[in-house]
Structure formats: C-alpha cells, structure tokens
Amino acid sequence: MKNSIVLSLLFVVILNYSCAQDAENKATTPNSPVFKAELFVDELQIPWGFTFLPDKSILITEKGGELIHFLNGKKSIIGNIPEVYQRGQGGLLDIALHPNYNENGWIYLTYASSEGEEKGGHTALMRAKLDNNSLTNIEQLYKAVPNTTKGQHFGSRIAFDNDGYLYFSIGERGNRDINPQDITRDGGKIYRLYDDGRIPEDNPFVDVDGAKTAIFSYGHRNPQGLIKHPITGEIWDNEHGPRGGDEINIIKKGANYGWPLTTYGINYSGTPITDETTMEGMEQPIHYWVPSIAPSGMAFVTSDTYKDWKGSLLVGSLAFQYLERLVLEGDKVVKREKLMADLGRVRAVQEGPDELIYVAVEGKGIYKLIPIK
C-alpha cells in the first residue's frame, strides 16, 4: 500500500514537471512585432477591470476602491461608491455595462463587501447608474456569505450571454475543502442571474433543498476571467490553480469543474493535492497551464486589425508579466504566444470599440496596442 502511494505521488510530480517543460516550450515570442504598445491611461495602481462607454470614454476600477472615468485624456473620480472591504485580494473588482446600456444605463460592479454579521468580507455584485460623475440608483444584487477574514480568492469577473443573463464569479475564499464542492455554500462558483438580480427559474439547483439557487456551475478555485465567446455565445472562464493547474473552461449548466478533487496542480509547498486529474462526472478544462501563469482578464479578438489574430484568445499573466495569445482550433489551443513580455502584471484586457486591443498593467496603466502595418 505504501509503495503504491509513493508511486502515485511520484507520478504527480513527474507529470507536473513534464507538463511544465511542454508548456514552456510551446509559449513562443513572435519573430517580428505585430504592434507597438502605447500608454493610453497612465498612473494606475491595480486596474482590475475597465469598460468603454458609448462615447468611447473608459470606466476603470482600481482595486483600492476608486472608480475612475477617463475622458479626453483626463481622469476623474466617480463618487458615491459603496464601501469596499480591503484585505488581501479583495477590493473593487470587475465592471461591465448592460448589453442594452444605451437604453437603460445600468453599470455592474463586483467588489469585496463587509456587509453582514460576521467579521471580514465576501464578494458582492451591484448595479448602478452614472449621473454627473456619481453613481445613483445603487442596487446590491448579490452578496456572498458568510464573511471571512481570509484574504484569498474573491474572484471576480462579470459577463452577459446572448440571452441577457448575467454571470459572475466568486473564488472559494481560501476554503478549498468545503466551499467549491458544496452547493449550499457560496464560493468557488459561477452564478447566473437575471439582470435585475432575480434567480432564473431554470437555474440548475433551484429545486435542491438548501442550495444557493444563483449557482450555475461549481468546483471552481478562483475564476478571474469570464467572457462570452463571440460566435458560439458560450461563457468561458479562466481560473487560478495552485502551483500549476491554471485552467480555461467552457461553463456548462450545473457542471462540476473538479476543484479540489481533481487538478493538474500541486500545493505551493510542492506536495500533492490529489493524484486525480480526471474523475467521472467532472468537467475537464479545455486548456491548463503548468507552471501557473496566474491568468487574469481575457478577451477574444474579433477584428482583422492585427495580422492573423482574429479568433485568438488573449489572456493576461500576473505571474510572468506578459499578455498571452492562444491560437484556437474550435475549443483546442494549438499555439501559445508571449506578447508584451516583462512589461508588468497584466490585470485586464479588452477589445475596444475602435477594434484595438487595450491592456491594463499594474503600476503603469492601460496600454493601447497600435498595429504595425
């Protein structure tokens, strides 16, 4: 029995090392530059998320709690922001506009909130409108419980699908052995709501006693990328693994993504978490990274602005401080490419209304990628 355990542990270590070498070999740097990176918005600290308003100005969330409006080269601070719980990875997180923003004016934000009876905080989702550089009509749509003073894994990203449903992610808040696999608890989940916060009647767990009925999928670790596929309409996420095992997943109704029962990663100490990378009834990632790149925001390239990039997936790397381009054939990653190497921790990426790519880098700002003809 002891010998089999030792062999299993050895297999996991060898697997991680082998995959690490393979991943490193496949991540290439272009021979000739496709773009030049031009600093567009300067002096930002941790720009977690950003979105473009119809007038092409930008709303930017600073993790420290500021919402910034960038218009005509100038930054202004938006007022009336709800109190943000500051601890570890918690703060003011993602931002997104309603798909019909021009008609209804709704802006959605996720943030760490201390509201509740317990000490600490947890991830919340709200919506509001913008009037004269201040938020109005503020409505909290979801608040995860219970609060905890742990500083890890708040998530969080926001996405809308083609039917107008709102999806958002919350990490497992450092409680990996309980939260991700328990649908009666918040954390380690991707949630789906109507745009006003109501629970859709066909959510997968609405008829399960005690379940958090906003849950759409579970078994996640810390999803920090969440976007709609521009052709299929599917919701894709990326999420942080531990030491290795960062993932890209296509989110399916009621699906279990395995954490921590299955993973391609190991503990930060180098010890195994499990020897299982697959398990019946659990989804496999369409791609995983070993070693971890610490993926953050991501975006699909939908235009022909950059040579041969259309259809690619862009993912920011916090750990290795670059932007990664993944070339896809369907839902298979066939090539990886390092862009903006060593420029800094890439936190968010968006394709702008001008069909250019914008990249938020910690400690610097938002860069605009100008194509080289």
Q: Cis before residue 180, ω within 30 degrees of 0? A: no
How far is the first Cα of the chain from the last one, in angstroms, to the nearest whole number? 63
Nearest-angstrom CA–CA distance, 316 and 322: 6
User: Of the residues 98, 122, 153, 240, which is catalytic?
Assistant: 153
Look up 153 and say whether it is catalytic. Answer: yes
Other C-beta atoms within 10 Å of 82: how many?
16
Q: What does the buried/exposed string (b/e) look like for 34-64 if buried means 16 or more CB atoms within 10 Å of the residue's CB?
A: bbebeebbeebebbbbbbbbeeeebbbbbbe
Distance CA 310, CA 314 (A): 11
Residues near 53 by beta carbon (within 8 Å), at least 6 away in sequence: 59, 97, 101
CA 333 to chain centre: 18
What are the catalytic residues? 153
